[in-house]
Amino acid sequence: MSNASVIGAYHTAFGAFTRPDRETGALIESKGYYDLLWEAARGAIEDAGLEPKDIDGIWLGTAFPEGFVDQAHPAPLALEIDPALRFVPTQRLEGACASSSVALYNAIYAVESGRFKRALVLGVEKMTSVSTQVMTALLARASYWPEEGAVGLTAPGMFAAYAQAYQAHYQISDAALRRAFAHVSALGYRNGAKNPLAHFGPGGLAERKGLLTAEAILALPDEGPGANAVVAAPLRLHDCSLVSDGAAAVVIAPRGAVAGREVHIAGIGQTTEVMRMGQRAQLYRHDAGIEAARRAYTEAGITAAAVEAAEVHDCFSINQILCTEALGLSAHGRAGFDYTEGRFTHEDHCAVNLSGGLKAKGHPVGATGVSMHAMLFKQMMGEGIGQTKAQPPAVTATLNVGGSGVTHCATVLRREA
Ligand code: COA
């Protein structure tokens, strides 16, 4: 059982904070990488009831700042929020889209060692400063480059391969798969439409276009304006996560070290899958995700049945299905049908992606892991942002995935009585 707890959290708004000017086309930035990082850092320290001088170590998860914003060696930037942080050790962790869960776990090891008492863990990414084409090429670098990215495989292509394998293995018809994906996306859009910090939040694109039901998504045309066009078959536009800017942060401390708000990090599991997709036995199941969840559940002394809310890595609709199964919330081959039957809403025993997930909250890749933990911390404290359950969940779980299903980080959080 881990000996660390989350004692404070902060989440910036997620969105596209660099947009072309309507008239000139020139890019206008409303929030940059640095603004996001500093806002999250200040916010989490304040939320924990601490001051910067109380922080004795900083861990930053961020995936591609060298490419997105020309910034290498980004962890020391966190010190700029306050002179009292001078000399505090900082480190940057990278695990593609799981970067900030990896950062969190390394901070946990440091706190558990007894060497650190108050660790600030940050996740940040700024993706909209480059074109979709450049962004896609950067993300592809998290593949086994010589055999995958270099020959044109992109993130949608990688997860399309999972979708094809899943469909073939479980013998799911095209129509049933498409329906399941639409239900997954609609649930994300409905939850996101309640979340004021979401990229597709209240009054956002999904709500404005009336895409809060699977039927509405299924009724979209294949081509033309407003189409749900194929991006990488069978994945369509509304099966893809958003390209977002944003940051989140948590403060962790030894379990029981503070009086007051505390969520115990009851169990963690981090696993790594073979990187080359072509060398894996199959692509219809996240074996490494299953093992990460098993480790986290074992450490926490629970089973999947205890989980009341989960944030899972829906970078593409198929991955929400695979992650739901890896966490044991659905049987293998069944998650798509469970979503189609209306499970995993805020009214269910276990709600999935109350935040709107990567599909609607947004997916600033390096920020996503800490974002999941920050959102669940708020839910568990009865301070849920956006969609909430009737009762704040006492036990929650995350599954954050990096690369083409390579780095898997599962966490179990439990509210202290
Ligand atoms: N889901 C739903 N709508 C989306 C969207 C998405 N993922 N991406 C863009 N849109 C909407 C835009 O808001 C815009 O709507 P509007 O015309 O009504 O304003 C329209 O679609 C076109 O937007 P645009 O920015 O031109 O889209 P794009 O073609 O540049 O990007 C994708 C679309 C799917 C390629 C891009 O969202 C993507 O790559 N997503 C996946 C990101 C990823 O791989 N993350 C890492 C996962 S491991």
- CA 292 – CA 174 distance, rounded (Å): 30
In 235-392, which ranges are E strands? 235-236, 245-254, 263-272, 309-312, 351-352
- CA 70 – CA 152 distance, rounded (Å): 23
At a CB cut-off of 8 Å and minimum separation 6, what does 12 contact?
A: 31, 36, 39, 40, 43, 197, 246, 247, 248
Gyration radius (Cα) of the chain, Å = 20
First to last CA, the chain: 16
Q: Ligand 1 test: best mutation among 64, 99, 139, 241, most atoms within 8 Å of CB?
A: 241
Q: Which residue has the tokens 């933990």?
A: 373
Comparing C-alpha atoms, which of 197, 198, 3, 6 is closest to residue 101? 6
Query: Cα of 31 to ligand 1 centre, how many Å?
Result: 20
Written as six digits, the tokens of 353 are 């992606």
Query: Cα of 231 to ligand 1 centre, how many Å?
Result: 10
Interstrand relation of 57-61 and 90-93 (parallel, antiparallel or unpaired): parallel
95 and 101 in contact (C-beta within 8 Å)?
Answer: yes
pLDDT at 85: 98
Q: Ligand 1 test: best mutation among 181, 205, 243, most atoms within 8 Å of CB?
A: 243
Comparing C-alpha atoms, which of 369, 409, 402 is closest to residue 141? 402
Measured in whole angstroms, how far is the alpha carbon of residue 298 from the centre of its chain? 23
> Degrees (nearest 5) of the Cα angle 122, 125, 127?
175
pLDDT per residue as tens, the chain (417 positions): 789 999 999 999 999 999 988 899 899 999 999 999 999 999 999 999 999 999 999 999 999 999 999 999 999 999 999 999 999 999 999 999 999 999 999 999 999 999 999 999 999 999 999 999 999 999 999 999 999 999 999 999 999 999 999 999 999 999 999 999 999 999 999 999 999 999 999 999 999 999 999 999 999 999 999 999 999 999 999 999 999 999 999 999 999 988 779 999 999 999 999 999 999 999 999 999 999 999 999 999 999 999 999 999 999 999 999 999 999 999 999 999 999 999 999 999 999 999 999 999 999 999 999 999 999 999 999 999 999 999 999 999 999 999 999 999 999 999 987
List ligand 1's pocket residues with C-beta within 6 A.
Answer: 97, 132, 136, 139, 155, 205, 231, 237-238, 240-243, 315, 363, 365
112 and 260 in contact (C-beta within 8 Å)?
Answer: no
- CA 157 – CA 159 distance, rounded (Å): 6
pLDDT at 120: 98
Q: Residues 4-132+243-253: name the CATH superfamily.
A: Thiolase/Chalcone synthase (3.40.47.10)
- CA 357 – CA 314 distance, rounded (Å): 6
Q: Ligand 1 test: best mutation among 27, 101, 132, most atoms within 8 Å of CB?
A: 132
pLDDT at 1: 73
- The residue type found at 344 is F
Query: Cα of 21 to ligand 1 centre, how many Å?
Result: 18
CA-nearest residue for atom 18, ligand 1, is 226
pLDDT at 361: 99
At a CB cut-off of 8 Å and minimum separation 6, what does 87 contact?
A: none
Confirm whether pTM is higher than 0.85. yes
pLDDT at 138: 98
| Residue 373 vs residues 38, 377, 396, 412: alpha-carbon distances, Å | 18, 6, 9, 10
Query: Cα of 380 to ligand 1 centre, how many Å?
Result: 31
At a CB cut-off of 8 Å and minimum separation 6, what does 208 contact?
A: none
Query: Cα of 241 to ligand 1 centre, how many Å?
Result: 8
Written as six digits, the tokens of 203 are 């009054």
Query: Cα of 239 to ligand 1 centre, how many Å?
Result: 10
Query: Cα of 321 to ligand 1 centre, how many Å?
Result: 20
At a CB cut-off of 8 Å and minimum separation 6, what does 325 contact?
A: 285, 286, 331, 332, 333, 334, 335
Query: Cα of 137 to ligand 1 centre, how many Å?
Result: 15
pLDDT at 25: 87
Residue 97 alpha carbon, nearest atom of ligand 1: 48
